[in-house]
Chains A and B, each alone.
Chain A
Amino acid sequence: MAPTTKGPAKHKTSAKGDSKNNKVLGSKVSKKNVKRPPPKEVKSKARTEQSQLKKTKKREYSEAELDLPKLNMITPVGVVNPKGKKKGKTFCDDPEAMMTIFAMVNAEKEGQIESKIMKARQLEEIREAKKKEAEARQSEKKNKLDNAKESIRNSRKGKGGASGNKSNKAEKESPKPKSGGKRKSVAFA
């Protein structure tokens, strides 16, 4: 409680003293004070304020300035453009350029088509040869089969023919004795 009571009392005295001093000074340099603009209040910005927090621009060093040792890397083709070359697209509109491209493309395509046709021809030849071989094999088989059939038929014929002959012979032989033997003659009276 004690310090609070003392405080305002001190203030009062100081205020009085100030007013006195002001009066004295004002009398001495009154004209100068009048012309001065009112003092502006300068607010000190807090450190956490956004403008204070912004980093000051530091100087950026390029790779060449840093003088770093170079890494043994591959530079991909097309990444580094040669200097002095025209930027952007290169149009081909003149007939010579078009003819050159046409000749290139046509030669490539012709080669492809030719090889395709050649391949098809070769395949066709192989196929034909295989077909012929298969046909020959089949005909051979058929011949064999025919021969076998024929032989069986012949053998059957031979057997069948022998028996047939026998019967024929028998047939032929049977009348012979009749004809060859003494004929019975019937005589009447």
Chain B
Amino acid sequence: MRALTEEETQTLFKKLAEYCGSGLKELIKPLDNSPNADRYVFRLSGNRVYYALLSLANAATAFPRDQLLSLGICMGKFTKTGKFRLHITALPIIAEVARNKIWIKQNGVMPFLYGSNVAKAHVAKLPDEMGEHSGVIVCTQDDVPLGFGITARSTAEARRLEPTGVVCFRQADCGEYLRDEDTLFASG
């Protein structure tokens, strides 16, 4: 387990900024104003990035690398090409500070949780100004986050779309907790 290099941090922040915007600052700022205040940090173990309190990360250094399975919350992993891939486990963190949200109707929840894209017919509410191909959090009408995706159309275009047209391409959904159970938490 180690801290991220500058390049890795940049890659990670670029990905997070797509969904969080300036809310990303909230994720990394110290918890209070005291000089030795605890803060959340990102740590790399294997190829996975974990989001944990600094005190916890420091305590975890006592464990050998091969015996440390997980630490804090897994945000995602670095691919072999050096890109960063967000995991569904990062959803509760991102959803709090999300830039865009799409609310889907009750009849669209299950199709989304089974891994399909969000159709226009299932959309209950769209944000006012949402660009094309920007990161978005998919929520139920009760504001429960279900997953995240990338918008297929801008808001204006999406409003004109036919009911079967795709509004948002799925990136990750809560159904992965079951579907990818074997690989989601496995290290390496």
Contacts and interface: CB of A to CB of B under 8 A. Distances in A.
Contacts of A90: 5-6
Interface in B17-37: 17-18, 21-22, 24-25, 28-30
Contacts of A110: 21-22
A106 B9 contact: no
A102 B154 CA distance: 26
- Interface majority SS on A: helix, strand, loop or mixed? helix
A175 B148 CA distance: 91
B46 interface: no
Given A90-B5, A95-B28, A106-B22, A117 B131 contact: yes
Contacts of A99: 25, 28
A105 B24 CA distance: 10
A91 interface: yes
Interface in B27-51: 28-30, 39, 41
A148 interface: no
B129 interface: yes
Contacts of A101: 6, 9-10, 13
A90, A104, A113, A124 interface centre (most CB from chain B within 10 Å): A113
B156 A102 contact: no
Contact of B129 (A92, A108, A117): A117
A24 B64 CA distance: 83
A116 B131 contact: yes
B10 A116 contact: no
B17 A105 contact: yes
Contact of A120 (B14, B24, B30, B154): B154
Interface residues of B, number: 28
B76 to A, nearest CB: 16
B6 A109 contact: no
A102 B13 contact: yes
A12 B17 CA distance: 107
Contact of A105 (B14, B30, B41): B14
Contacts of B28: 95, 98-99, 102
Interface string B116-136: 000000000000010111100
A108 B24 CA distance: 14
Contacts of B30: 95
Contacts of B10: 101, 104-105
Contacts of A89: 5
B134 A116 contact: yes
Interface in A102-126: 102, 104-106, 108-110, 113, 116-117, 120, 124
B5 to A, nearest CB: 5
Interface of B: 2-6, 9-10, 13-14, 17-18, 21-22, 24-25, 28-30, 39, 41, 129, 131-134, 154, 156-157
8 contacts: A90-B6, A91-B5, A101-B9, A105-B17, A106-B17, A106-B21, A117-B131, A124-B156
In order of increasing CB-CB distance, the 5 nearest A-B pairs are A116-B131, A93-B3, A91-B3, A105-B13, A120-B154
